[in-house]
Amino acid sequence: AEPLKDTVKQPAVAARPGALPPAGLDARAVSAWFGSHKVLDRVTLAMPAGEVTALIGPSGCGKSTFLRTLNRMHELIPAATLAGEVLLDGEDIYGTGRRLTDARRQIGMVFQKPNPFPTMSIYDNVVAGLQFTGVRVSRRTKDDLVEECLNRAGLWKEVRDRLRQPGGALSGGQQQRLCIARALAVRPRVLLMDEPCSALDPTSTRRVEETILELASEVTVVIVTHNMQQAARVSQQCAFFLAEQGTPGGIVEHGPTPALFGSPQDERTADYVAGRF
Ligand code: ADP
Ligand code: MG
Alpha carbon distances (Å) from 184 to 114, 142, 253, 264, 271: 15, 13, 30, 34, 36
CB distance 66 to 241 below 8 Å = yes
pLDDT in tens, 60-72: 999 999 999 999 9
pLDDT in tens, 188-209: 999 999 999 998 999 999 999 9
CA–CA separation, 179 and 111 (whole Å): 9
Ligand number with the minimum distance to the CA of 112: 2
Average pLDDT of the chain, as a whole number: 90
Degrees, nearest 5: CA angle 126-130-136: 125
ipTM: 0.98
**pTM, 2 dp:** 0.91
| Protein residue with its CA nearest to atom 23 in ligand 1 | 77
CB distance 26 to 8 below 8 Å = yes
Interval between CA 56 and ligand 1 midpoint (Å):
15
Full DSSP string of 218-266 = TBEEEEE-S-HHHHHHH-SEEEEEE--TTS-BEEEEEEEHHHHHHS-SS
CB distance 202 to 209 below 8 Å = no
Alpha carbon distances (Å) from 173 to 36, 142, 164: 38, 24, 18
Share of the chain above pLDDT 70, in %: 92
The neighbourhood of ligand 2, an ion, using CB within 5 A, equals 64
- Taking CB atoms and a 6 Å cutoff, what residues make up the pocket around ligand 1? 34, 39, 59-65, 77
Q: Which atom of ligand 1 sits closest to the CA of residue 63?
A: 3
**Which residue from 39, 68, 222 has its CB within 8 A of the most atoms of ligand 1, so it is best to mutate?**
39
Contacts of 4 (CB under 8 A, 6+ apart): 26, 46
